[in-house]
């Protein structure tokens, strides 16, 4: 029944009154909801109300800019859906899930949620086993519960739509506003400048923490486009080419005429030396083979651009000689940038008369490897699908199985073989008790959960070490010269917030943005060893970026280095360690950024990388020899490797 006060009112008056109420509710919602959304997003990130309140009261302008962005997202969804409370529910669900993803990603691998993470396909499902803890489930239930509650309001409250022309106008305005912030249009830059925005590109965890997740995420949209170096031009590359030709000439003079060796790179998943943890003891050496090789052969430490994940980025650096430090923070070249043939170790060895083969004991689609490996020039790719009745340990194919596959591939080829193998057995998480009773036992001042995690990881490392011994034992008896380069892609993720590392005293805090440069170096340094049945002199390498490893190995083998890698090798003598936010010079002195003495050399490196990946590829035009087999055509694809058994060969004959 209508209220008495309204019974005598004309219908037009009642409609006008209803519209006025509707407009007020819409206006109040559009003004208040964005601030509540930002508060909720930041609460998820910071973990408690007090820290969230301290941030927004200390940074009211930054809070307002984050709310402005949330407003445009809310407005756009409202204009698309046409229902106020449905739009409110979808906005809450979308932005809270975005904050949750960023929260868990930072806890696991120290990186927030980036715009390009949206384009991850099935790779993103790989994180699900890592976020099934009680803490994770509580947050997920709260987000979905609040969103569902807002959706249910629609049952009792009106739809409160807008007229079509208003929706189209405001929706277009919202799109243009979000686009302007993403590309940094002048007016958006002015707004951010007045708000005191300080973008911290080199430390994205700090960037998100200081500026707020909505604003930091939006600022990174522009960073998905790799900017052209200020000095880059065809003339600058032509000038560099003259000096690079001389480096290549010097490299040619030292090429050995001996029989070409098989070259095997093994990137072992999360391989690291847990005996480096202070205050932790093991009942037996988890790395007997590696520790023996460290005393007898060339060995050292590689500076990985990753921690806890992002294996493909390490592959990218090793195979191409390009550096992640020259690309936007958090980017994934395999997914974003490699859309055409690119020089790599595979194409280099192929040009030297080798057969280039990739082996990976996981799904071929992961990180887009099936496509990328073709662009890199591999002849064949053996992925999980191509292993015949493989041995598993836990959820993954064993490292021993990968070693057997490497041996089979080398034995099956008449030509010298280049193999790039990637293992999976010791992939995290490590709280699954995958081995049951372990050979390796851990003692130390650790919680029971941390001890179990470390024991599982250490057992995986022990198995990886054994798989390396299998290869060495085989090729020691072989009359084919063979070189094995064995290393890890990154340190393992041992619990939330670097739990095991903090408990053992390896780092001082679970906040990576508070680490010293020495701690950053420590958490990114993985061991590598080189073994050969040839007579190669021993050398100790204190630190070397993954992007310089290919040039270093070619130099050790006295093989001609392509021009760009010859430059990399010379640069590595001045700056052996080069990460975003961490630079190590030849004297092992640590810096936040390249010191002035080598800044111009590092900038040339950046120009050469830009030229190859995004520019005009001028370098190849001005070189006497490039050292690679190059093709501008799309790759035709390759058949997956399938080693035939003796019975199958006999049957075919």
- Give the start-to-end residue ranges of the domains of the chain: 13-223, 255-559
Gap between the Cα atoms of 265 and 250, Å rounded: 26
Non-local CB neighbours of 109 within 8 Å, separated by 6+ positions: 306, 307, 308, 309, 310, 493
Mean pLDDT of 147-175: 77
Non-local CB neighbours of 612 within 8 Å, separated by 6+ positions: 322, 342, 343, 564, 619
Encode pLDDT of 48-80 as tens digits.
889 999 999 999 999 999 999 999 999 999 899
Of 519, 493, 491, 520, nearest to 505 by C-alpha is 519
Q: May I ask the CATH architecture of the domain 255-559?
A: 3-Layer(aba) Sandwich (3.40)
- DSSP 8-state code for residue 228: P
Encode pLDDT of 348-379 as tens digits.
999 999 999 999 999 888 888 999 999 999 99
Q: What percent of the chain has pLDDT over 70?
A: 85
Q: Which residue has the higher pLDDT, 196 or 421?
A: 421
| pLDDT for residue 44 | 85
Band of the pLDDT at 625, cuts 50, 70, 90? Answer: low
Gap between the Cα atoms of 285 and 288, Å rounded: 6
Listing DSSP states for 580-609 in one string gives TTEEE-TT--EESS--HHHHHHHHHHHHHH
Band of the pLDDT at 642, cuts 50, 70, 90? Answer: very low
509 has pLDDT over 60: yes
- Which two structure tokens, joined as six digits, stand for 410? 């080398």
Band of the pLDDT at 136, cuts 50, 70, 90? Answer: low
Number of CB atoms found within 10 A of residue 590's CB? 15
Residue 397: strand, helix, or coil: strand
Band of the pLDDT at 449, cuts 50, 70, 90? Answer: very high
Mean pLDDT of 155-182: 83
Band of the pLDDT at 542, cuts 50, 70, 90? Answer: very high
Encode pLDDT of 297-349 as tens digits.
999 999 999 998 889 999 999 999 999 999 988 788 988 899 899 999 999 99
Question: Is the C-alpha dihedral spanning 211, 212, 217, 219 positive or negative?
Answer: negative
555 has pLDDT over 60: yes
Gap between the Cα atoms of 550 and 322, Å rounded: 10
Q: Which residue has the higher pLDDT, 461 or 31?
A: 461
| pLDDT for residue 647 | 38
Please, are residues 304 and 580 in contact by the beta-carbon 8 Å criterion?
no
165 has pLDDT over 90: no
Gap between the Cα atoms of 353 and 345, Å rounded: 13
Gap between the Cα atoms of 546 and 578, Å rounded: 9
Encode pLDDT of 567-607 as tens digits.
999 999 999 999 999 999 999 999 999 999 999 999 999 99
- Which two structure tokens, joined as six digits, stand for 1? 């029944």
Q: What percent of the chain has pLDDT over 90?
A: 58
Encode pLDDT of 212-258 as tens digits.
999 999 988 877 778 899 999 999 999 999 888 777 766 554 445 46
């Amino acid at each position: 029944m209508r209220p008495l006060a309204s019974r005598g009112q004309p219908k037009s008056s009642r409609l006008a009154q209803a519209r006025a109420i509707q407009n007020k509710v819409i206006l109040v919602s559009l003004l208040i909801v964005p601030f509540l959304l930002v508060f909720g997003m930041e609460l998820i990130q910071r973990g408690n109300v007090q820290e969230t309140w301290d941030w927004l009261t200390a940074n009211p302008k930054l809070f307002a800019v984050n709310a402005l962005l949330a407003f445009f997202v809310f407005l756009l969804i409202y204009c698309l859906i046409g229902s106020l409370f449905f739009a409110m529910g979808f906005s809450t669900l979308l932005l809270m899930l975005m904050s949750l993803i960023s929260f868990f990603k930072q806890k696991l691998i120290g990186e927030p949620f980036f715009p390009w993470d949206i384009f991850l396909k099935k790779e993103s499902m790989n994180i699900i086993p890592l976020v099934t803890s009680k803490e994770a489930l509580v947050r997920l239930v709260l987000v979905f519960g609040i969103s569902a509650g807002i959706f249910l309001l629609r049952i009792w409250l009106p739809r409160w739509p807008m007229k079509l022309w208003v929706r189209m106008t405001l929706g277009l305005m919202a799109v243009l506003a979000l686009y302007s912030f993403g590309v940094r249009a002048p007016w958006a830059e002015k707004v951010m400048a007045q708000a005191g925005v300080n973008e911290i590109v080199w430390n994205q965890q700090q960037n998100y923490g200081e500026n707020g997740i909505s604003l930091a995420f939006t600022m990174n949209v522009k960073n998905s486009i790799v900017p052209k170096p200020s000095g880059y031009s065809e003339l600058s590359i032509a000038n560099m080419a003259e000096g690079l030709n001389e480096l290549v000439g010097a490299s040619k003079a030292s090429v050995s005429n001996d029989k070409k060796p098989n070259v095997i790179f093994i990137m072992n998943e999360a391989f690291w030396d847990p005996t480096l943890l202070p205050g932790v003891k093991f009942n037996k050496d988890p790395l007997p083979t590696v520790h023996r090789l460290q005393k007898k052969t060339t060995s050292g430490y590689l500076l990985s651009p990753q921690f806890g994940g992002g294996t493909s980025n390490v592959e990218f650096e090793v195979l191409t000689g390009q550096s992640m430090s020259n690309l936007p923070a958090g980017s994934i070249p395999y997914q974003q940038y490699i859309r055409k043939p690119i020089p790599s170790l595979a194409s280099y060895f192929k040009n030297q008369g080798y057969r280039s083969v990739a082996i990976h004991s996981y799904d071929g689609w992961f990180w887009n490897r099936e496509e990328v490996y073709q662009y890199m020039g591999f002849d064949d790719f053996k992925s999980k699908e191509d292993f015949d009745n493989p041995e598993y340990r836990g959820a993954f194919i064993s490292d021993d199985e990968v070693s057997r596959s490497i041996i089979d591939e080398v034995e099956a080829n008449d030509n010298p073989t280049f193999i790039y193998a990637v293992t999976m057995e010791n992939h995290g998480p490590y709280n699954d008790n995958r081995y049951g009773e372990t050979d390796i036992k851990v003692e130390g001042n650790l919680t029971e959960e941390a001890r179990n995690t470390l024991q599982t990881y250490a057992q995986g490392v022990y198995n990886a070490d054994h798989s390396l011994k299998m290869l060495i034992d085989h090729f020691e008896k072989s009359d084919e010269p063979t070189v094995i380069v064995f290393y890890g892609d990154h340190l393992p993720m041992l619990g939330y917030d670097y739990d095991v590392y903090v408990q053992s005293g390896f780092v001082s805090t679970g906040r990576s943005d508070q680490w010293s440069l020495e701690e950053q170096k420590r958490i990114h340094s993985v061991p590598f060893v080189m073994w050969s049945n040839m007579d190669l002199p021993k050398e100790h390498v204190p630190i070397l970026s993954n992007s310089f490893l290919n040039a270093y190995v070619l130099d050790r083998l006295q093989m001609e280095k392509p021009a760009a890698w010859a430059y990399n090798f010379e640069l590595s003598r001045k700056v052996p360690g080069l990460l975003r936010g961490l630079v190590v010079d030849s004297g092992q002195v640590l810096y936040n950024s390249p010191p002035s003495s080598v800044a111009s050399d590092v900038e040339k490196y950046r120009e050469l990388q830009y030229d190859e990946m995004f520019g005009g590829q001028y370098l190849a035009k001005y070189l006497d020899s490039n050292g690679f087999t190059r093709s501008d055509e799309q790759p035709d694809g390759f058949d997956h490797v399938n080693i035939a058994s003796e019975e199958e060969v006999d049957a075919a004959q």
